[in-house]
């Protein structure tokens, strides 16, 4: 074999694009294959938290994020009881205070990532239909176009990954018992609503969060309600605004005012998976939701995908086609413990937000004390962790 490492990424979402960018920046021959004919994301908000913000900043994307996103002000971001009584401030920076959380439109984040990748790296209209792996290479087949041969394949194709079965037996979905309504409102429709903060209301079995996106011109809301239905794992299933408003009747008047302005909404079933026993098989590895789908209650899905991308790029930076399978196992060993902890933390936080407590003062005290766990998320530097792990392994081998 020999020569420059060739990596094919399947999936052009946030994780796949971050991987393409990170690998390209480290001089690796990479292509990103997306089944849609154009890159894009559904109309929804995402939080770019400090653990991925500092990574994107190093790619020179900070100015674009600042223009399109909104800094969630730590002075005003707050947890509330269902009636609007303040409970505790929401941590929206790392421990230095220099790296904040940005409220972003998912489509804007995709555009920022895609805009930093050279033309030709991302190939749209490429639906992967099959994979064949030998000791020396992997061949990907597509619904249209010629097959692609690579030394490494990264499956970044989401929670319903079609390539996961080539690595490990498919993981069964775990139903959270809740559905989420989400949508965007123009800020001028509810002019009294502040556009500089993250706010979250909690009541029996339900919670609702709101934060601004797209430079404060849009308000993103997500409402979580219990459901006995096995709703789709889809962000684009239409929901009923009247049912949504009724679910929060009697809550803080501010919430009722906001939901009264909703004319269309989307809902999806909330599922995650137990941590997979492995992410890598030979020359194929999993990344993002294909590896560690998690509930949204820590805002870490996209952020952990970006961490995966950076870790993988460092592990593969000086790899050869011959050493690639070993390096993929290093990537898995570095990332699996952290993402498993985040998956568990997101589940626990969902129960906390849905007030599954006999004594709410216990919940309120936990919310104030959860800052330590959030700081462990936000202060973590995956680039430093990956470089240290590589250095330790090289030292041990010498």
Task: Look at residue 226 in the predicted model and tell me its pLDDT.
Answer: 87
Of all residues in the chain, what percent carry a pLDDT higher than 70? 96
- Provide DSSP, 17-36: HHHHHHHHHTT-EEEEE-SS
Q: At 149, is the pLDDT very low, low, confident or very high (cuts 50, 70, 90)?
A: very high
What's the mean per-residue pLDDT of the chain? 92
Q: Report in angstroms the alpha-carbon separations of 18 from 252, 303, 317, 327.
A: 39, 10, 15, 19
Q: What is the pLDDT of residues 24-58, one digit of tens each?
A: 999 999 999 999 888 877 668 999 999 999 999 99
Task: Look at residue 236 in the predicted model and tell me its pLDDT.
Answer: 64
- Reading the block at residue 375, the tokens are 């700081």
Task: Look at residue 336 in the predicted model and tell me its pLDDT.
Answer: 98
Task: Look at residue 361 in the predicted model and tell me its pLDDT.
Answer: 83
Closest alpha carbon to 41 in 103, 102, 104? 104
Query: Which CATH code for domain 6-172+273-397?
Result: 3.50.50.60
Between vectors from CA 376 to CA 275 and to CA 333, what angle results, nearest 5°?
Answer: 40
- Examine the pLDDT at 228 and tell me if it is beyond 70: no
Q: At 145, is the pLDDT very low, low, confident or very high (cuts 50, 70, 90)?
A: confident
CA-CA distance, 224 to 244, in Å (whole number)? 9
Can you tell me the mean pLDDT for 192-198? 96
Q: At 170, is the pLDDT very low, low, confident or very high (cuts 50, 70, 90)?
A: confident
- Examine the pLDDT at 290 and tell me if it is beyond 70: yes
Please name the residue that has the structure tokens 């690595």: 167
Q: What is the pLDDT of residues 230-286, one digit of tens each?
A: 555 555 678 899 999 999 999 999 999 999 999 999 988 888 889 999 999 999 999
CA-CA distance, 296 to 293, in Å (whole number)? 9
Return the CA Rg of the chain.
21
Domain residue ranges in the chain? 6-172+273-397
Q: At 362, is the pLDDT very low, low, confident or very high (cuts 50, 70, 90)?
A: confident
CB 292 within 8 A of CB 339: yes
Task: Look at residue 265 in the predicted model and tell me its pLDDT.
Answer: 93
Task: Look at residue 229 in the predicted model and tell me its pLDDT.
Answer: 65
CA-CA distance, 322 to 358, in Å (whole number)? 57
Task: Look at residue 238 in the predicted model and tell me its pLDDT.
Answer: 82
Can you tell me the mean pLDDT for 143-164? 93
- Examine the pLDDT at 10 and tell me if it is beyond 90: yes
Task: Look at residue 233 in the predicted model and tell me its pLDDT.
Answer: 54
Task: Look at residue 172 in the predicted model and tell me its pLDDT.
Answer: 80
CA-CA distance, 160 to 293, in Å (whole number)? 10
């Amino acid at each position: 074999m020999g020569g420059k490492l060739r990596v094919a990424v399947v999936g052009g979402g946030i994780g796949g694009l971050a991987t393409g960018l990170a690998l390209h920046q480290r001089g690796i021959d990479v292509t990103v294959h997306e089944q849609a004919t154009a890159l894009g994301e559904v109309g929804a908000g995402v939080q770019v938290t400090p653990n991925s913000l500092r990574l994107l900043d190093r790619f020179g994307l900070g100015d674009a994020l600042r223009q399109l996103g909104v800094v969630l002000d730590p002075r005003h971001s707050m947890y509330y009881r269902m009636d609007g009584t303040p409970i505790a401030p929401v941590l929206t920076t790392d421990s230095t205070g220099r790296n904040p959380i940005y409220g972003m439109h998912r489509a804007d984040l995709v555009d920022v990532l895609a805009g930093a990748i050279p033309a030709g790296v991302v190939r749209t209209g490429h639906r992967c239909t099959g994979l064949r792996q030998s000791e020396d290479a992997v061949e990907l087949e597509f619904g249209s176009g010629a097959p692609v041969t690579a030394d490494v394949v990264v499956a970044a194709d989401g929670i319903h990954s079609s390539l996961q079965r080539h690595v490990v037996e498919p993981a069964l979905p775990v139903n959270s018992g809740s559905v989420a309504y989400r949508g965007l409102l123009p800020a001028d429709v509810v002019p009294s609503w502040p556009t500089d903060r993250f706010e979250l209301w909690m009541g029996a079995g339900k919670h609702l969060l709101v934060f601004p996106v797209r430079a404060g011109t849009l308000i993103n809301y997500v409402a979580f309600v219990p459901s006995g239905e096995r709703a789709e794992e889809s962000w684009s299933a239409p929901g009923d605004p009247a049912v949504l408003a009724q679910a929060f009747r009697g809550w803080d008047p501010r919430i009722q005012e906001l939901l009264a302005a909703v004319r269309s909404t989307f809902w999806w079933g909330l599922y995650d998976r137990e941590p997979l026993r492995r992410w890598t098989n030979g020359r194929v590895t999993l990344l993002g939701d294909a590896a560690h789908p998690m509930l949204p209650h820590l805002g870490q899905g996209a952020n952990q995908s970006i961490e995966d991308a950076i870790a993988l790029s460092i592990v593969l930076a000086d790899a050869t086609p011959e050493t690639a399978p070993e390096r993929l196992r290093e990537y898995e060993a570095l990332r699996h413990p952290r993402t498993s902890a985040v998956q568990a933390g997101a589940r626990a936080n969902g129960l906390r937000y849905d007030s599954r407590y006999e004594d709410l003062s216990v919940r309120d005290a936990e919310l104030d004390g959860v800052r330590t766990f959030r700081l462990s998320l936000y202060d973590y530097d995956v680039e430093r962790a990956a470089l240290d792990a590589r250095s330790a392994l090289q030292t041990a081998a010498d």
